[in-house]
Structures are given as structure tokens and as C-alpha cells.
């Protein structure tokens, strides 16, 4: 019997555990268009190429190349970050 539970703020999935913890929901890795697990995005240029206001942060984190399932037949690029679910 689980004593602690928490709900993902993005997808609504509920997690249950016997102890208080923080769980990382896997929804950020799934393509919203086809549901396939996306791959880590590796840019073809150096990070400073994408610099904005002096920062070297690349917003795209994952990519889904399952173009056959997408309506516009192109890869889907995601900037979603992992969601931590605190169990209480």
C-alpha cells in the first residue's frame, strides 16, 4: 500500500511510493504528435552559434524523427524539460 503520491503537472500521471521522494516524469521524452520516445538532440553547430543575449543555452533538448506519423512530415523539436513530481 503506497503512502505517498504525486501528480505530474504536465501530463497528469499519478505516482505512488512507500516513501517520500521526488520522481522525474517521463512525459517530457514523448512526442506529443505521435507518442514515440524522442531522441536527445545534438546540434550540428557549436553552442555559441545559438547564443542569445550572451547566453549559450540551446532550447531544443529532444527530437522526434518519426516524420511518417507527423502531419507535416517533418521532425518535431521539443524544448520541454523534465518535470519533477514531489510525492507527499
Residue pLDDT, tens place only, 51-60:
556 555 567 7
CA angle 64, 67, 68 (to 5 degrees): 135
34-61: average pLDDT:
72
pLDDT at 86: 94
pTM: 0.72
pLDDT at 28: 92
Q: In this structure, what C-alpha cell is assigned to residue 26?
A: 517521463
Helix and strand numbers, DSSP H then E, in the chain: 0, 7
**Structure confidence at residue 67 (pLDDT):** 75
The most confident of 4-8, 30-34, 68-72, 74-78, by mean pLDDT: 4-8
Amino acid at each position: 500500500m503506497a503512502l505517498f503520491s504525486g501528480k505530474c503537472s504536465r501530463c497528469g500521471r499519478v505516482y505512488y511510493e512507500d516513501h517520500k521522494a521526488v520522481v522525474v516524469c517521463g512525459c517530457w521524452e514523448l512526442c506529443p504528435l505521435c507518442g514515440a520516445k524522442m531522441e536527445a538532440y545534438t546540434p550540428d553547430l557549436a553552442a555559441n552559434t545559438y547564443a542569445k543575449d550572451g547566453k549559450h543555452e540551446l532550447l531544443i533538448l529532444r527530437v522526434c524523427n518519426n516524420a511518417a506519423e507527423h502531419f507535416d512530415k517533418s521532425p518535431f523539436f521539443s524544448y520541454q524539460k523534465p518535470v519533477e513530481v514531489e510525492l507527499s
